[in-house]
């Protein structure tokens, strides 16, 4: 818990406060249903257990916002369900529903943190905000429900109710995305608008499915009772299995990139570990220059693959150092590299970086050619790695930097070289 709190203190404090406030308000306002009302208690327990489980089976993947679709859908269901079969009205209002959600979410998250699973408190807090919005808007603003009394159904046809509930859930999800990007922006100093757009886009489809599931649970509860909860969650659970497949697809591509990057090592064209070193250093330099996570991922892949075209050479270049090869040869290797990477069909961004990895910087200055910053990074870092040939001594480093300075502004982008020096300096101190 401490580790997670230290990383995301704001979200942690917010979560604990939310839990306390909702529980206190629920008890104070007398919204807690009587214990002997076993039908109500069972419904609430079913929702709470599902939320805890949903928080535990939480999904995350690189380039994808952490999410707990089952928990969120069940929590929407709890917020919006007011009736059971036989015209039974559930005898609690917004405060109790929120207190149950907060407790279940806190429990699920605590278990996850205690088990040392990867957890994001910001995302959990965001989910809670979504539920607060949905519950307050529906139960207080629309239904005008008083604490401790059942909701009087005054809404129109089932269709109108469905449309209304969907609208409320969407509003809640937008608030969630806004809240999390604000929190992230505050702690990381990132651009809030950009984070918001990225958050919203990356989770849009899944969020819609979650919102609809929550609404469907609430709509099906009057005829079906609590059975509606597991029944309508099944499609979402099946989709989670598909999500695992999605993650494994990403893993396959990553594995094939790693394998490809080792091919030139295995074939003796490049010194062993060259691509990995270029990749690690490129990412450091990219961070220094403020690239986004997405660009950093492409940069890392590009750096891993930058030499793969060398497999076409009949005789290896001495030491695998492309920086010492004739410019025409460099360009041929580059063309082969790009052709191989294009064959994957999914790494267009990577191929575009590699297309310009040998282009001298002066073509940007003199001819106004557009060369991606990421390509310039690969060029500089590759040169540095070729020149030091893996040696880590201060002398090898200085000699390499000196060679690079000779090409400063002509071959290499001075900004990138500055960033390289900075990241070399910081790693030397570390």
Single residue of 60, 103, 202, 344 touching another protein by CB under 8 A: 344
Rounded Cα distance, 130 and 168, in Å: 10
Question: What backbone torsions phi and psi does residue 89 show, to the nearest 5 degrees?
Answer: -100, 135
The residue (of 7 and 262) whose beta carbon lies closer to another protein is: 262
Q: Which positions from 254 to 293 touch another protein by CB under 8 A, shown as an x/- string?
A: -xx-xxx-xx--xxx-------------------------
- Our finding on whether 309 is near another protein (CB under 8 A) is yes
- Stretches 42-50, 135-143, 296-304, 333-341: which one binds another protein (CB under 8 A)? 333-341
Comparing CA positions, the residue from 370, 366, 399 lying closest to residue 383 is: 399
Burial of 368 (0-12, 13-18, 19+ CB in 10 A): exposed
The residue (of 345 and 368) whose beta carbon lies closer to another protein is: 345
The residue (of 94 and 165) whose beta carbon lies closer to another protein is: 165
Single residue of 39, 56, 246, 276 touching another protein by CB under 8 A: 246
The residue (of 165 and 371) whose beta carbon lies closer to another protein is: 165
Are residues 51 and 217 in contact, defined by beta-carbon separation less than 8 angstroms?
Answer: no
CA angle 227, 54, 38 (to 5 degrees): 40
The residue (of 101 and 213) whose beta carbon lies closer to another protein is: 213
Rounded Cα distance, 218 and 228, in Å: 8
Rounded Cα distance, 168 and 136, in Å: 10
Single residue of 188, 314, 394, 430 touching another protein by CB under 8 A: 314
Size of residue set near another protein by CB under 8 A:
60
The residue (of 162 and 408) whose beta carbon lies closer to another protein is: 162
Q: Shortest approach of another protein to residue 68 CB, angstroms?
A: 16
- Stretches 25-33, 338-346, 358-366, 404-412: which one binds another protein (CB under 8 A)? 338-346
Restricting to residues 220-239, name those near another protein by CB under 8 A.
220, 222-225, 227, 231-232, 234-236, 238-239
139: tokens are: 């139960």
The residue (of 282 and 337) whose beta carbon lies closer to another protein is: 337
DSSP per-residue codes, 30-58:
T-PPPTT-HHHHHHHHHHHHHHHHHHHS-
Rounded Cα distance, 296 and 290, in Å: 9
Restricting to residues 141-180, name those near another protein by CB under 8 A.
158-159, 162
- Stretches 54-62, 181-189, 253-261, 319-327: which one binds another protein (CB under 8 A)? 253-261
- Our finding on whether 414 is near another protein (CB under 8 A) is no
What is the 3 state secondary structure string of 197-266?
Answer: HHHHHHHHHHHHHHHHHHHHHHHHHHHHHHHHHHHHHHHHHHHHHHHHHHHHHHHHHHHHHHHHHHHHHH
Rounded Cα distance, 131 and 100, in Å: 11
The residue (of 21 and 313) whose beta carbon lies closer to another protein is: 313
Q: Are strands 83-84 and 88-89 parallel, antiparallel or unpaired?
A: antiparallel
Residue with tokens 């590699």: 354
Kindly calculate the radius of gyration of the chain based on its CA atoms and give it in whole angstroms.
Answer: 28
The residue (of 225 and 360) whose beta carbon lies closer to another protein is: 225
Single residue of 107, 142, 312, 364 touching another protein by CB under 8 A: 312
Q: Shortest approach of another protein to residue 280 CB, angstroms?
A: 18
- Our finding on whether 311 is near another protein (CB under 8 A) is yes
Question: What backbone torsions phi and psi does residue 16 show, to the nearest 5 degrees?
Answer: -65, -45
Single residue of 34, 115, 188, 205 touching another protein by CB under 8 A: 205
Comparing CA positions, the residue from 62, 22, 12, 58 lying closest to residue 210 is: 58
Rounded Cα distance, 419 and 411, in Å: 16
Q: Shortest approach of another protein to residue 150 CB, angstroms?
A: 20
Single residue of 114, 249, 391, 428 touching another protein by CB under 8 A: 249
Q: Shortest approach of another protein to residue 87 CB, angstroms?
A: 12
Contacting positions for another protein (CB under 8 A): 85, 158-159, 162, 205, 208-209, 212-213, 215-216, 219-220, 222-225, 227, 231-232, 234-236, 238-239, 241-243, 245-246, 248-249, 251-253, 255-256, 258-260, 262-263, 266-268, 308-309, 311-315, 336, 339-341, 343-346
């Amino acid at each position: 818990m401490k580790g997670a709190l230290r990383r995301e203190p704001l979200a942690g404090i917010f979560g604990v406060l939310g839990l306390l406030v909702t529980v206190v308000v629920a008890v104070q306002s007398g919204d807690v249903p009587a214990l002997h009302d076993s039908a109500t208690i069972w419904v609430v327990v079913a929702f709470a257990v599902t939320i805890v489980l949903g928080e535990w089976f939480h999904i995350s993947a690189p380039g994808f916002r952490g999410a707990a679709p089952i928990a969120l859908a069940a929590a929407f269901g709890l917020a919006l369900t007011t009736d059971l079969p036989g015209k039974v009205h559930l005898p609690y209002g917004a405060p109790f529903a929120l207190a149950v959600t907060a407790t279940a979410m806190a429990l699920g998250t605590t278990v996850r943190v205690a088990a040392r699973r990867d957890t994001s408190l910001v995302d959990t807090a965001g989910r809670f905000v979504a539920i607060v919005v949905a519950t307050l808007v529906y139960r207080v603003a629309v239904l005008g429900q008083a604490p401790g009394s059942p909701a009087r159904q005054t809404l129109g046809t089932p269709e109108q109710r469905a449309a209304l509930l969907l609208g409320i859930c969407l509003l809640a999800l937008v608030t969630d995305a806004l809240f999390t990007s604000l929190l992230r922006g505050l702690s990381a100093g990132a651009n809030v608008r950009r984070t918001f757009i990225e958050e919203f886009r990356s989770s849009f489809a899944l969020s819609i499915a979650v919102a609809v599931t929550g609404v469907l649970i609430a709509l099906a509860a009057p005829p079906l009772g609590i059975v509606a909860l597991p029944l309508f969650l099944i499609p979402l659970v099946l989709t989670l299995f598909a999500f695992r497949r999605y993650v494994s697809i990403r893993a396959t591509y990553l594995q094939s990139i790693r394998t490809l990057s080792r091919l030139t090592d295995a074939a003796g064209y490049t010194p062993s570990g060259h691509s990995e070193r270029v990749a690690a250093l490129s990412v450091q330099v990219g961070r220094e220059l403020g690239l986004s996570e997405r660009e950093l991922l492409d940069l890392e892949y590009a750096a891993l693959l930058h030499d793969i075209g060398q497999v076409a050479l009949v005789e290896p270049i001495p030491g695998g150092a492309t920086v010492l090869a004739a410019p025409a040869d460099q360009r041929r290797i580059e063309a082969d590299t790009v052709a191989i990477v294009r064959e994957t069909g999914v790494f267009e961004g990577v191929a575009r970086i590699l297309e310009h990895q040998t282009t001298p910087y002066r073509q940007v200055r003199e001819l106004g050619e557009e060369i991606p910053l990421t390509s310039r990074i690969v060029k500089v870092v590759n040169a540095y790695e070729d020149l030091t040939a893996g040696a880590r001594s201060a002398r090898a480093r200085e000699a390499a930097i000196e060679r690079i300075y000779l090409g400063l502004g002509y071959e290499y982008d001075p900004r990138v070289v500055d960033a390289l020096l900075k990241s070399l300096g910081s790693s030397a101190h570390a």
